[in-house]
Structure 1
Amino acid sequence: MKLIALEEHFVTPALVGHGASSASIAEPHVWAEASRRLLDLTEERLEGMDAAGLDMQVLSLNSPGIQAETDPAAAVRQATTVNDFLAGVIANHPDRFSGFAALPLQHPKAAADELERAVTQLGLRGALVNAHTQGRYLDDPLLRVVWERAEHLDVPLYLHPANGVDTAHVFSGHPELVGPMWSWGIDTATHVLRLVFGGVFDDFPNAKLLLGHMGEGLPFALWRMDSRWGFHAHHGIELKRGNPSEYLRHNLYVTTSGVCSAPPLLAALLSLGADHILFGTDYPFEDMGTATEFLRNAPISEADRTKIGHRNAELLLGLASNAPVQA
């Protein structure tokens, strides 16, 4: 079975320093090994893909990436450099790699322009955003220009977790809960709901949002959200489609990255449908072989397995060819 994985991380030597905040949440020896693998793109990575039976990785800059940069001008330069680098890696291995652009969201207009350049000139397939950008979330009115460009180009934005702006008091005294095991999922799911209630998908009804880790718990919560939306004070917010779930079922696509378990996969299938689920391994933070074996043996139909394994990625990202796409 052909397999295309969408949440596959890398970093360049110049941008290693931006990952210091992520390093603080991991066991030192685990982070050291992951850091070594992040820097490798064509040797151990390709060997691991072959061993796991993984045909293609859609590469993306590791969290928090460009968004950790405090100087907007530097962020613009870094995004251009890393996207050019990524395009070069893909050009050398077009059958094994595709990629998502990094965006300098500190400068919204430049980010939109870089997204267009990355898609139309470099052949990248959208962009990956690591949580907030210096405290600014994707529902911020200043970032509507990025959503407008993404919708026009018909490419997705992949929302990936990172450390939050602050830490909720409920986590005080329990730093083990801060990070990908728990707090990142809550933060990222909340970020998605900000897009719904912030009107992003009303303004851009054909925008496409990708979310990893089997949807960060959102597929499980759809009925409850709709029920309580009818109960809650709406605070002046009007959802043109009626209920929150209508947006998530239309605009949201999720990947299996980092979740190799049948119950959440079945919940996502029943909640969102097979056309909105794609494959991912979360390399190097999860094992590629575990992820590919999970999908091959998951208790789902062969038709759904094919969609999740590669067909949905080919359709959503236009991966029939890795040639640059003209808008």
Structure 2
Amino acid sequence: ACVELTRCINDLGFKGSLINGFTTKGSADSVHYYDQPEFRSFWACVQDLGMPLYLHPRNPVASRLLSYEGHPWLENSSWAFAMETALHTLRLLGSGIFDEYPDVQLVIGHLGERIPYDLWRVDHRIKKSPQGLPAKKTMRDYMLTNVHLTTSGNFYDPTLHCAMTEVGVDRIMFSVDYPFETTEDAATWFDKSEISDADRLQIGRTNAINLFKLDMS
């Protein structure tokens, strides 16, 4: 993985990378999250290359779909995508990866996969019952230093306002979520969203330029 990632960044000029959630090994029904020890060298590579990594949702494996049996409307993008990616993100934050590799920058979509809304409670309950948590900081600390959000597929002002309050305007970027959503719908919402023009410019342009080190000359 590191060889291919290095090739993409150094030889092909990629500005970042994307992984579709967990990986499978040995069985199509297996689930391996990237907080597990065997992936530490991968995160070392991500840090060395200095480019952000997008953690994208993927379909649950067959055994996980049992939770949604008889309720197919909750599968995939309506609910399951966010739950899977939120869990994966919190595992990464809690595992100590960002203590070992503090320069890694993670991007997640859908205005944070519902994490900003519940961030206080997550930290509050972990503080009361840490149960061997390896991370040296709070989840909020890592969200403020190592995680960025996109607006992909979540075109709702109160959710945007919550994300801005919890993680700050400097860690949010405009995105669409094609083919699930259209650029027209995303842009129409964003252009009329109840935020300042300065915040609109930062979310719509400046943050992505800075994070992905885009040469706009």
Taking structure 2 as the reference length, the TM-score comes to: 0.92
Native 8 Å contact 2:95 2:135 kept in 1 = no
Give 1:170 deviation, angstroms. 4.0
**Residue in structure 2 matched with residue 264 of structure 1 by the alignment:** 159
**Residue in structure 2 matched with residue 274 of structure 1 by the alignment:** 169
Q: Deviations over 1:62-99 (max 9, x none)?
A: xxxxxxxxxxxxxxxxxxxxxxxxxxxxxxxxxxxxxx
**Residue in structure 1 matched with residue 123 of structure 2 by the alignment:** 226
Q: Deviations over 1:190-212 (max 9, x none)?
A: 00011012211111111100001
> What residue identity is the alignment partner of 2:84?
D
Native 8 Å contact 1:225 1:245 kept in 2 = no
SS at match of 1:151: helix
Give 1:174 deviation, angstroms. 1.3
Native 8 Å contact 1:128 1:158 kept in 2 = yes
Partner residue of 1:288 out of 180, 183, 204: 183
**Residue in structure 1 matched with residue 59 of structure 2 by the alignment:** 163
Unaligned runs of 5+ in 2: 25-30
Say which one has the larger Rg.
1
**Residue in structure 2 matched with residue 193 of structure 1 by the alignment:** 90
SS at match of 2:136: coil
Give 1:169 deviation, angstroms. 4.8
For residues 6 and 216 of structure 2, the distance between their equivalents in structure 1, rounded to whole angstroms, comes to 18
For residues 186 and 113 of structure 1, the distance between their equivalents in structure 2, rounded to whole angstroms, comes to 30
Instruction: Give the length in aligned residue pairs.
Output: 210
Native 8 Å contact 1:148 1:204 kept in 2 = yes
For residues 170 and 161 of structure 1, the distance between their equivalents in structure 2, rounded to whole angstroms, comes to 17
Give 1:185 deviation, angstroms. 0.6
**Residue in structure 1 matched with residue 2 of structure 2 by the alignment:** 112
Taking structure 1 as the reference length, the TM-score comes to: 0.62
Native 8 Å contact 1:131 1:164 kept in 2 = no
For residues 236 and 257 of structure 1, the distance between their equivalents in structure 2, rounded to whole angstroms, comes to 34
For residues 20 and 75 of structure 2, the distance between their equivalents in structure 1, rounded to whole angstroms, comes to 16
**Residue in structure 1 matched with residue 16 of structure 2 by the alignment:** 126
- Equivalent residues in 2 for 1:73-84 (5 A)? none
> What residue identity is the alignment partner of 1:311?
T
Q: Deviations over 1:162-186 (max 9, x none)?
A: 1123326542321221111011111
SS at match of 1:180: helix
Native 8 Å contact 1:126 1:150 kept in 2 = no
Q: Deviations over 1:139-172 (max 9, x none)?
A: 1222212211111111111011111233265423
**Residue in structure 2 matched with residue 206 of structure 1 by the alignment:** 103
**Residue in structure 2 matched with residue 182 of structure 1 by the alignment:** 79
SS at match of 1:264: helix
SS at match of 2:149: strand
Give 1:321 deviation, angstroms. 5.1
Unaligned runs of 5+ in 1: 1-110, 323-327
- Equivalent residues in 2 for 1:1-327 (5 A)? 111-134=1-24, 135-165=31-61, 166-167=63-64, 169-232=66-129, 234-241=130-137, 243-320=138-215
Q: Deviations over 1:33-87 (max 9, x none)?
A: xxxxxxxxxxxxxxxxxxxxxxxxxxxxxxxxxxxxxxxxxxxxxxxxxxxxxxx
SS at match of 2:7: helix
Native 8 Å contact 1:115 1:126 kept in 2 = no
For residues 235 and 169 of structure 1, the distance between their equivalents in structure 2, rounded to whole angstroms, comes to 28
SS at match of 1:152: helix
**Residue in structure 2 matched with residue 94 of structure 1 by the alignment:** none
**Residue in structure 2 matched with residue 80 of structure 1 by the alignment:** none
For residues 122 and 131 of structure 2, the distance between their equivalents in structure 1, rounded to whole angstroms, comes to 16
- Between the aligned residues of both structures, percent identity stands at 39
Native 8 Å contact 2:17 2:53 kept in 1 = yes
For residues 194 and 275 of structure 1, the distance between their equivalents in structure 2, rounded to whole angstroms, comes to 24
Give 1:309 deviation, angstroms. 0.5
